[in-house]
């Protein structure tokens, strides 16, 4: 079927309208002159100006970015290792427990993860701050990375690795020269996923942060509890813009990488 | 040797930062709460060896758990969390399935774009997406402005700070989790099966019920678990959209911890919540493992 039936066309239109209209309204009203967020009073960018002068928000944003960079990088390394072990590791002692610990955090309510990590940090006497948030974020986002990477690992042709080993590569060389380039798009999207999960997180960060380290979502949450404000709309618009540009760039990059890979594979097939 | 290291590092990390903390929660849920920093008195004293452990079991009174059953607030919160999670999972399925179906039947060259359009909101901050609805659902919000303007209603509807707003918020934020697994199941489906069913005398509706739905079942199951389990412990949506009338256990735990500073009771709430979730989490893992093995 190459043509969209009317039923599918309607459900797609309504579905995407539902997904996007709230955010579009939010973005439009960030440019509203009035402090009343539901009444349009003319175009203005003054809320963006006020936002850039708000030291508390800027500080929180800087903490959030640092936490996200560290935790997503750590999570990518650990998560890729975990995925490799799960898919290629064969049987080892406690494998069921291991895969359980990978899948459980995906659905674990954040209040439980947050509370349990906080009690651990207090138990071992670790001061709450950036370090504890990084540890907490790494723990749950490495599981997401591992799911993304393992879904790429299961689909790729294992004989490529075996060929590299036959041709004299060590296991480490085979991983670096063959496996890693092939799973690279998945590793990159895993990193991006971990990065945004960390940027977004409110609940776990609230439990594991101390007074010295307030992240942006914690700041936004305490502001939003008092009601809707145009300044928060402006901040939300900026965050949506960053994510949109990031996701589109990433998808273009991975698309190009995959196309190049396909061309290489075809060239190799012709050479045979 | 290298393989052992590769296994050990993520393994030990998860043991230390995922599994061990649960035992600490369990231990603190059995402690007494006191006015101190940290605000609990540990009952288990391992430094005294066996005597400490024996004393711990002799004095074990589970008082925090007894407290949970005595105060109606807690079991009402558990019940209403489970109820809200079940209803909103069904609602998300009803809204999500047609979208996933439409995506899987769209022209092949559209699919990557449609897929990206579903994923994009998922990458945007959860908090912002919930916040967006506060301006829409309030009494003078956009939905009421629109409905008053069209003349459908004469008086503004009260939606914000009721359970209705919680359902809308959950369906909205969790929709991608439902769409993506169903879409990936439907996309793999061989469309000639539908043609075969129709050739054999099925109507289109029958073919949908007898062929499409059963073949997309793994996706439906995965999607429902991905929505239901986290929603039971949801905190952000009920606290921003639900008002004081919405009772959910995630919110109770948060308040017990941050407002009342009663760590032992908060831990007991978490332990019971975890016990409720164990069955769906195990079922979800089984489902995922079966899927992975089927793909391999």
Q: Under an 8 A CB cutoff, do B120 and A243 touch?
A: yes
Chain A residues closer than 8 Å to B204 by CB = none
What is the distance between the alpha carbons of residues B173 and B169, in angstroms, rounded to a whole number? Answer: 6
pLDDT at B270: 92
Q: Under an 8 A CB cutoff, do A247 and B123 touch?
A: yes
In a domain, A39, yes or no: no
Q: pLDDT per residue over B9-32, tens digit each? A: 999 999 999 999 999 998 888 887
- Report residue A257's pLDDT band, with 50, 70 and 90 as the boundaries: confident
The stretch A92-114 carries a mean pLDDT of 87
The stretch B136-150 carries a mean pLDDT of 87
- Report residue A1's pLDDT band, with 50, 70 and 90 as the boundaries: very low
The mean pLDDT of chain B is: 86
Q: pLDDT per residue over A175-191, tens digit each? A: 888 888 888 888 988 99
- Report residue B45's pLDDT band, with 50, 70 and 90 as the boundaries: low
In this predicted structure, the answer to whether residue B58 has a pLDDT above a threshold of 70 is: no
Backbone angles phi, psi at B22, to 5 degrees: -65, -35
Kindly report which listed range (A91-105, B39-53, B83-97, B274-288) carries the lowest average pLDDT score: B39-53
Residue B41, beta-bridge partner list: B32
pLDDT at A268: 76
Backbone angles phi, psi at B41, to 5 degrees: -110, 110
**Tally of structural domains, chain A:** 1
pLDDT at B93: 97
Nearest residue on chain B to A28, alpha-carbon basis: B132
In a domain, B186, yes or no: yes
Q: pLDDT per residue over A37-80, tens digit each? A: 777 888 888 889 888 888 888 999 999 999 999 999 999 999 99
In a domain, A5, yes or no: no
Name which of B107, B145, B257 is nearest A38 (Cβ-Cβ).
Answer: B145
- Report residue B52's pLDDT band, with 50, 70 and 90 as the boundaries: low
Q: Under an 8 A CB cutoff, do A112 and B274 touch?
A: yes
The stretch B266-274 carries a mean pLDDT of 91
pLDDT at A112: 92
CA quadruple B6, B8, B12, B18: dihedral, nearest 10: 60
**Tally of structural domains, chain B:** 1
- Report residue B1's pLDDT band, with 50, 70 and 90 as the boundaries: low
In this predicted structure, the answer to whether residue B81 has a pLDDT above a threshold of 60 is: yes
Q: What is the interface pTM, i.e. ipTM, of the complex?
A: 0.85
Q: Are B28 and B232 in contact (CB under 8 A)?
A: no
Domain CATH code at residue B208: 1.10.3720.10
pLDDT at A234: 92
- Report residue B55's pLDDT band, with 50, 70 and 90 as the boundaries: low
Residue B47: Cβ-neighbour burial (10 angstroms; 0-12, 13-18, 19+): exposed
- Report residue B89's pLDDT band, with 50, 70 and 90 as the boundaries: very high
Q: Output the CA–CA distances (angstroms, integers) from residue A90 to A93, B4, B135, B237, in the order listed.
A: 10, 12, 52, 41
Q: pLDDT per residue over A17-28, tens digit each? A: 999 999 999 999
In this predicted structure, the answer to whether residue B286 has a pLDDT above a threshold of 90 is: no
The stretch B26-52 carries a mean pLDDT of 69
Q: Under an 8 A CB cutoff, do B95 and A15 touch?
A: yes
Chain B residues closer than 8 Å to A142 by CB = 10, 13-14
In a domain, B93, yes or no: yes
Residues in chain B, overall count = 296
In a domain, B277, yes or no: yes
The stretch B36-64 carries a mean pLDDT of 67
In this predicted structure, the answer to whether residue B82 has a pLDDT above a threshold of 60 is: yes
In a domain, A18, yes or no: no
In a domain, A250, yes or no: yes
Q: Under an 8 A CB cutoff, do A119 and B267 touch?
A: yes
In a domain, B124, yes or no: yes
Closest CA of chain A from B51, distance in Å: 22
Name which of B28, B120, B281 is nearest A119 (Cβ-Cβ).
Answer: B28
Name which of B11, B118, B135 is nearest A98 (Cβ-Cβ).
Answer: B11
Residue with the larger pLDDT of the pair B118 and A246: B118
pLDDT at B77: 92
In a domain, A184, yes or no: yes
In a domain, B5, yes or no: no
DSSP B204-215: HHHHIIIIIHHH
In a domain, B10, yes or no: no
Whether B113 has its CB under 8 Å from any CB of chain A: the answer is no
Nearest to B129 by CA among B178, B91, B179, B171: B171
Q: Under an 8 A CB cutoff, do A247 and B120 touch?
A: yes
Q: Are B257 and A115 in contact (CB under 8 A)?
A: yes
pLDDT at A272: 65
Q: Under an 8 A CB cutoff, do B116 and A248 touch?
A: yes
In a domain, A60, yes or no: yes
- Report residue A2's pLDDT band, with 50, 70 and 90 as the boundaries: very low
Residue A43, beta-bridge partner list: A32
Q: Are B261 and B267 in contact (CB under 8 A)?
A: no
Q: pLDDT per residue over B199-239, tens digit each? A: 888 888 888 888 888 989 989 999 999 999 999 999 999 99
Give the structural domain span for A136: 45-271
Name which of B105, B136, B284 is nearest A25 (Cβ-Cβ).
Answer: B136
Domain CATH code at residue A109: 1.10.3720.10
Q: Under an 8 A CB cutoff, do B20 and A120 touch?
A: yes
In a domain, B259, yes or no: yes
Name which of A3, A111, A142 is nearest B253 (Cβ-Cβ).
Answer: A111
Q: pLDDT per residue over A127-185, tens digit each? A: 889 999 999 999 999 999 998 898 888 877 788 888 888 988 888 888 888 888 888 88
Nearest residue on chain B to A40, alpha-carbon basis: B142
Q: pLDDT per residue over A200-216, tens digit each? A: 899 999 999 988 889 99
Sequence-ordered list of residues with C-beta below 8 angstroms from that of B37, at least 6 positions apart, any chain: none
Closest CA of chain A from B59, distance in Å: 22
Chain A residues closer than 8 Å to B141 by CB = 38
Whether B74 has its CB under 8 Å from any CB of chain A: the answer is no
Give the structural domain span for B110: 71-295
Q: Under an 8 A CB cutoff, do B125 and A82 touch?
A: no
CB atoms near residue A49 (< 10 Å): 10
Give me A84's structure tokens. 């490799």
């Amino acid at each position: 079927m190459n043509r969209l039936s009317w039923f599918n066309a309607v459900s797609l239109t309504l579905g995407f309208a539902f997904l996007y209209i709230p955010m579009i309204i939010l973005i439009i009203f960030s440019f509203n002159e009035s402090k009343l967020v539901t009444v349009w009073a003319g175009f203005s960018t003054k809320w963006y100006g006020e936002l850039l002068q708000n030291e508390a928000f800027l500080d929180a944003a800087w903490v959030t970015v640092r936490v996200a960079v560290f935790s997503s990088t750590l999570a990518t390394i650990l998560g890729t290792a975990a995925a490799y072990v799960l898919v290629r590791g064969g049987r080892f002692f406690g494998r069921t427990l291991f895969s359980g610990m990978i899948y459980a955090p995906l659905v674990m309510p954040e209040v439980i993860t947050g509370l349990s990590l906080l009690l651990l940090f207090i138990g071992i006497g670790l001061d709450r701050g950036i370090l504890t948030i990084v540890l907490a974020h790494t723990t749950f986002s490495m599981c997401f990375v591992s799911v993304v990477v393992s879904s790429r690992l299961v689909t790729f042709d294992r004989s490529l690795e075996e060929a590299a080993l036959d041709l004299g590569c060590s296991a480490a060389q085979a991983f670096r020269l063959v496996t890693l380039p092939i799973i690279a798009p998945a590793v990159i999207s895993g990193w991006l996923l971990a990065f945004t999960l960390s940027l977004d997180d409110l609940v776990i960060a609230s439990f594991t942060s101390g007074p010295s380290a307030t992240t942006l979502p914690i700041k936004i949450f305490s502001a939003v509890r008092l009601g809707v404000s145009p300044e928060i709309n402006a901040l939300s618009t900026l965050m949506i813009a960053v994510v949109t540009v990031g996701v589109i760039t990433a998808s273009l990059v991975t698309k190009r990488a995959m196309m190049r890979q396909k061309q290489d594979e075809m060239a190799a097939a012709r050479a045979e | 040797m290298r393989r052992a290291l590769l296994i050990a590092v993520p393994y030990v990390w998860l043991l230390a930062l995922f599994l061990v903390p649960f035992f600490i929660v369990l231990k603190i849920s059995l402690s007494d709460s006191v006015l101190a920093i940290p605000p609990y008195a540990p009952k288990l004293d391992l430094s005294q060896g066996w005597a400490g452990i024996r004393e711990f079991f002799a004095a074990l009174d589970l008082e925090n758990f007894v407290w949970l059953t005595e105060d109606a607030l807690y079991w009402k919160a558990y019940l209403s969390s489970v109820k809200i999670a079940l209803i909103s999972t069904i609602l998300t399925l009803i809204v999500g399935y047609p979208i996933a179906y439409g995506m899987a039947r769209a022209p092949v060259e559209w699919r990557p774009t449609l897929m990206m359009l579903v994923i994009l909101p998922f990458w945007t901050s959860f908090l912002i997406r919930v916040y967006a609805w506060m301006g829409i659902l309030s009494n003078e919000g956009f939905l009421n402005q629109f409905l008053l303007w069209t003349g459908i209603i004469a008086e503004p509807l009260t939606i914000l700070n009721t359970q209705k707003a919680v359902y809308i918020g959950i369906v909205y934020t969790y929709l991608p989790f439902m769409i993506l697994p169903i879409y990936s199941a439907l996309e793999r489906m061989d469309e000639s099966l539908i043609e075969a069913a129709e050739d054999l005398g099925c109507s289109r509706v029958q073919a949908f019920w007898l062929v499409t739905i059963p073949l997309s079942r793994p996706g439906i199951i995965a999607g429902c678990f991905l929505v239901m389990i986290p929603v039971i412990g949801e905190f952000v949506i009920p606290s921003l959209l639900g008002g004081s009338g919405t009772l959910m256990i995630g919110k109770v735990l948060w308040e017990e911890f941050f407002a009342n500073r009663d760590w032992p009771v908060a831990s007991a709430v978490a332990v019971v919540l975890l016990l409720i979730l164990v069955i769906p989490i195990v079922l979800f893992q089984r489902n995922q493992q079966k899927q992975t093995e089927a793909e391999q």
